[in-house]
A = this chain, B = another copy of it.
Amino acid sequence: MVILNTSSSLVDILRQRRQRLAQLIDFPAILWSGSSNPRNFAANVYPFRANSHFLYFAGLPLPNAAIRLEAGKLELFMDDPQPSSALWHGEMPKREEIAQMIGANAAKPIAELEFLVADAATIAVQDAATWTKQSQLLNRWILPQNPPQGIDLELAKAVVSLRLTHDEGALAELRKAAVVSVEAHKAGMAATPKAKREAEVRGAMEGVIIAHNMTTSYNSIVTVHGEVLHNEQYHHPLQPGDLILADVGAETEMGWAADITRTWPVSGKFSSTQRDIYDVVLAAHDACIAKISPGVEYGDIHLLAATVIAEGLVDLGILQGNAQDLVELDAHALFFPHGIGHLLGLDVHDMEDLGDLAGYEEGRKRSDRFGLGYLRLNRPLRPGMLVTIEPGFYQVPAILNDAKQSSKYHNVVNWERLSQFVDVRGIRIEDDVLVTTDGSEVLTAALPNKADAVEELIG
């Protein structure tokens, strides 16, 4: 584990979280942290990442640990390291010390957990070694791919209702992640003129994140092929006319995430067509953020983005017709085929391990509309929620060359005009926006997003 600088405030934050949980459920909950995943052999593991629900209540990324929460009390279960491990891993804080750091009411060896499982709910951890243990101890299948049921579902809903809005402890961490992510993007822009391949820009960005003793909160996208939405290839050469789309976010040592996308020109100057589309995407981005406020439906924010993009594309002569009508036809989704954003917290898609339990208000389901099916968040906004706003424009061959789509939208797209924008393969602008009581605060605002300002950061 990492020895972190903890303070009495961590104890207070964690106590408040478990007291709030106790107001929502009247049965015990056991949360496991998980164990390391072997990479190519048992001793060569991927960096340990504790389960997010565990982190929320336990505060520290302890491997092979569990906590039992009941009536506002926290019991910590973990084993002290073997004496021989001091040779390889150094002196680690003992269970009792960790218990103090997190304000646990008791601390016991992990073996004692089996006597305290009666009537306890849990949430599945991702690694097989741990969900096997969970299933054995609780005597029922606890699988990450199975939707929770019974008391596990009640626990999941209670945890969702807490984690949906962020307390001060969470926000302090989220702000740290945002600051470092901003610095990483600036480093990527600065490294661009000398870079020959995507990988070099990525190296500059992730180097900054590692230098702050953080990790990436998801596999970075750093690509000249922004039209591939989840592109995890970094070998393409950078050509002067290319745009780089970089979707890179840091995660703090305690596990809290940021998620930023910027798109910038390799040459340092947007072409006029690139700038035209960039400004459309930015207009959608700005309009959405201006509209964020408690009570507003996030689905409406998505539709607003769709409408502003449709308007912009009509103005540029790419789409034909009335923006409102085009959005009803899902014509915007030809170029903006994903949702406007998602929840952000301990996970980059916060609580996505619980399916749509966090993202969708109870009773709502994913739409099967082409333009809405990928929407990951469909709830009225509340103060303390952190969401991403990430409109984009992409020329995805799999969409635009699809015969069904192109015949359906044959009349609304000016294909000849569109062909003039061939140097715009993918643009996305993404910031992290906190809903506040009187509107919103952009946690990532320190990173410029206006075209001129972005150009100035390059090289």
A residues with a Cβ closer than 8 A to B are 2-4, 37-47, 49, 51-52, 83-84, 86-91, 126-129, 144-145, 195, 197, 199-200, 202-204, 206-213, 218-219, 225, 227-235, 253, 337, 346-349, 351-353, 396-399
Contacts and interface: CB of A to CB of B under 8 A. Distances in A.
Contacts of A89: 228, 230-232
A197 to B, nearest CB: 7
Contact of A127 (B37, B88, B207, B347): B37
Contact of A37 (B46, B197, B210): B46
A90 B225 contact: yes
A256 to B, nearest CB: 12
23 contacts: A41-B126, A41-B347, A42-B126, A42-B145, A42-B352, A44-B219, A44-B349, A46-B46, A83-B398, A87-B399, A89-B231, A89-B232, A90-B225, A90-B227, A90-B228, A195-B211, A199-B211, A202-B211, A206-B206, A206-B210, A207-B208, A207-B210, A213-B235
Residue among A89, A231, A351 facing the most chain B CB atoms (10 A cut-off) = A89
- What is the predominant secondary structure among interface residues of chain A facing chain B? loop
B87 A337 contact: yes
B200 A126 contact: no
Contacts of A399: 87
Contact of A348 (B44, B210, B213, B225): B44
Contact of A40 (B39, B129, B207, B353): B353
B203 A211 contact: yes
Query: Which 7 residue pairs are nearest across A and B when measured between Cβ atoms?
Result: A207-B207, A203-B211, A128-B128, A90-B228, A86-B398, A199-B213, A203-B210
B46 A40 contact: no
A199 B225 contact: no
A42 B353 contact: yes
Nearest to A220: B210
Contacts of A83: 398
B40 A347 contact: yes
Nearest to A233: B2
A312 to B, nearest CB: 22
A363 B11 CA distance: 55
Nearest to A401: B86
Nearest to A46: B46
B353 A41 contact: yes
Nearest to A346: B40
A86 B206 contact: no
Contacts of A207: 203-204, 206-208, 210-211
Contact of A39 (B42, B49, B195, B210): B49
Given A38-B126, A207-B207, A211-B202, A219 B88 contact: no
Nearest to A353: B41
Nearest to A213: B199
A43 B342 CA distance: 14
A278 B42 CA distance: 32
Contacts of A396: 86-87
A44 B218 CA distance: 6
Nearest to A44: B218
A291 B52 CA distance: 51
A67 B197 CA distance: 32
A230 B88 contact: yes
Contacts of A204: 207, 211
A43 B349 CA distance: 9
Contacts of A351: 41
Residue among A203, A208, A231 facing the most chain B CB atoms (10 A cut-off) = A203
A426 B398 CA distance: 55
A40 B206 contact: no
Contacts of A40: 49, 51-52, 126, 346-347, 353
A397 B86 contact: yes
Nearest to A132: B128
B199 A212 contact: yes
